[in-house]
Amino acid sequence: MTKLAIIDDDQEILTLLDEYLAKNGFEVEGFADGETFLSRDETEFSLLILDIGLPGIDGLEICRRLRQKSSIPIIMLTAASDDLDRILGLELGADDYLGKPFNPRELLARIKALLRRMHADSTEEISDNLIEINYAARKASIAGTELDLTGAEFDLLGVFHKQAGTVLSRDKISELLHRRRIEPFDRSIDTSVSRLRHKLSDHLEGEIIQSVRGKGYVLLLKK
């Protein structure tokens, strides 16, 4: 049985999600604070649901610490109106986010989609003359040099690489990454693209991810 971890200081949410996810075939262990979870071996769990607003060590710091040593999939729970927290969470390596209050069915759908994506990617390795992506190790290199990417940046690079030469709108990128259309005024995709561009530019002359005015972004691989 797939085991999930939930970190949230709201006992009602922990109880609700424990019961709901257990009915849908998952084993769940809840944590009221980040310190307790960080004292455990995160490899016990297949996925982490992480609230940002925690006492003591907040969710962003927990995400940052985990990404220094682990690629465990992370879904962050944020205040519905807090764009900054969502962007920071993705920048630090969260794989997806959900605003509070939320429907447990939507969270279940996000969990299943993320686990499917991780499983589908686990044996895949793609490369060309410039970029090499190892999905099993969740590592990418460009011109032979390994890139230092967050989880969100790694997934974004994978989307662009698989769709190289195709202009992708922000909505399309969000659908490919998160299986949903982007929310109005959500700039997290643009922020993630900007950060990925910056990291790629450290190893290249010019930008290979280009903006197409009014349409989106495209990855152009040099022949």
| Closest-CA residue to 63 (of 7, 134, 114, 16) | 7
pTM summary value = 0.70
Q: How far apart are CA 100 and CA 154, in angstroms?
A: 26
The answer on 136 and 50 residing in a single domain is no
Q: Last residue of a domain, which of 72, 99, 120?
A: 120
| Structural domain that includes position 212 | 123-219
Q: How far apart are CA 11 and CA 108, in angstroms?
A: 19
Measured on CA atoms in the order 140, 69, 148, 196, is the torsion positive or negative? positive
Q: Last residue of a domain, which of 120, 150, 184?
A: 120
Q: How far apart are CA 216 and CA 64, in angstroms?
A: 29
Interval 101-117: pLDDT, tens: 899 999 999 999 888 87
The answer on 153 and 106 residing in a single domain is no
Q: Last residue of a domain, which of 72, 89, 120?
A: 120
- For residue 137, what is the domain's CATH number? 1.10.10.10
The answer on 152 and 110 residing in a single domain is no
Interval 64-88: pLDDT, tens: 999 888 888 999 998 766 678 888 8
The answer on 70 and 156 residing in a single domain is no
Q: Cα separations (Å) of 15 from 5, 43, 104, 110? A: 13, 23, 12, 19
Interval 14-56: pLDDT, tens: 999 999 999 999 999 999 999 999 999 999 999 999 999 998 9
For residue 47, the SS3 value is strand
What's the domain count of the chain? Answer: 2
